[in-house]
Chain A
Amino acid sequence: MSSGILFACGGLGLLAIGIWALVLRAHLIRKVLAINVMGSGAFLLLVGAGSMGEAGVDPVPQAMVITGIVVAISATALALALVLRLANATGKPALPEDRERDLMDSEER
């Protein structure tokens, strides 16, 4: 099954897109989305690379990805709870150095 390499490369693309957005977007929810996209890229790389050989489907990367998905939702939930507290405390869902930046919020326009 040679599609593995295709998905693995797609995973690399997702990683790059995620880092790009993580660095450039100021809004914290967007940063959380970016981390999640990066995580999905890493998972795709794991399983995609695991199914590149002729040996058939390897269950170990799949188990690792299920573990990874649960870890990702845990981190996302904690991050979002923090974003909410931060936004309520400071009025803006952004880190202090980014408060003046364009948060690309609908009401910012």
Chain B
Amino acid sequence: MKKPWYEWIQSIDRRIIYLVVFVLVSLPFFIPIPLPMDVSEQVQKLYNKVEEIAEYNKTAKKKKVVLFSMEWDPAVQAECWPQTEAMAEHCLTRGVPFILFSRWRPEGPTLAQQIAEKRAKEHGKKYGEDWVNFGYKRMDLPAFLAFIKDIYSQVTKDTEGTPIRTVPMMKHVESIRDVDLIFHVTGSVGVEQWIQYLQPETGVDVSIGCTAIIGPEMYPYLDSGQMVGMMEGLSGAAQYERLVGHLEGRGTRGMGSQNLAHFWIIAMMILGNVGYVFQRRRERLDKQRVEMSGE
């Protein structure tokens, strides 16, 4: 028996769907799609905050520092890499020293180091003077609280084994209060602990670069001002790249492909549901007919 159309459109093989996804995501690599992009409020705020630090650093002897809390691993590098890159680019070009550090993800600082090295090479910046890598310190809450109290009690050497006090950049940092912004990049959570334990005591601003998935969860903090800004997913990174003028970054390049992929998902949702609705209606009619004939 021939299948009715609503069953047919519900039974497309999943491999065909996969293939279409692959093709649709690939197409914009070769056929560029125009990208009119507005910079969202959260990204703009984050950018302004870093600019503010840069302005201060121009004249100050003891510079303000940004701490990159690199809680991401290769699984989410697609989003976190461009975010870190955009921020590192901004900090390096505008003379804002930064620290790489992680509590949960051993790979985070290693990948971030690679990013920083690449960007630094282009701008003639040097490790030790413009940034430092604390590396991975597996900290439970007690250790973290001590870290807030006294950085040097928890971090004695950088990843290269250089005693941390002899790294030139660290002359700007006596305590965590000299860090002016936390930039937490993550694919899961953990940013709350900065807000809970660091911010009330020291007034250090917290910001986040997160995968799009956890973006919505951050809005209560953005609303309350506990978080100054956010880069949300690839689009956040692309917007930041636009602000920094780093248009060859991974963020901007990827946005074209998002379009077709999104439309495909919406189309699939509609197709599946149309089939479902008609099938249900037919089933209901059949049932009624059976009941009628039964009488």
Q: Answer yes or no: do A and B interact.
A: no
Give B contacts to A, CB under 8 Å: none
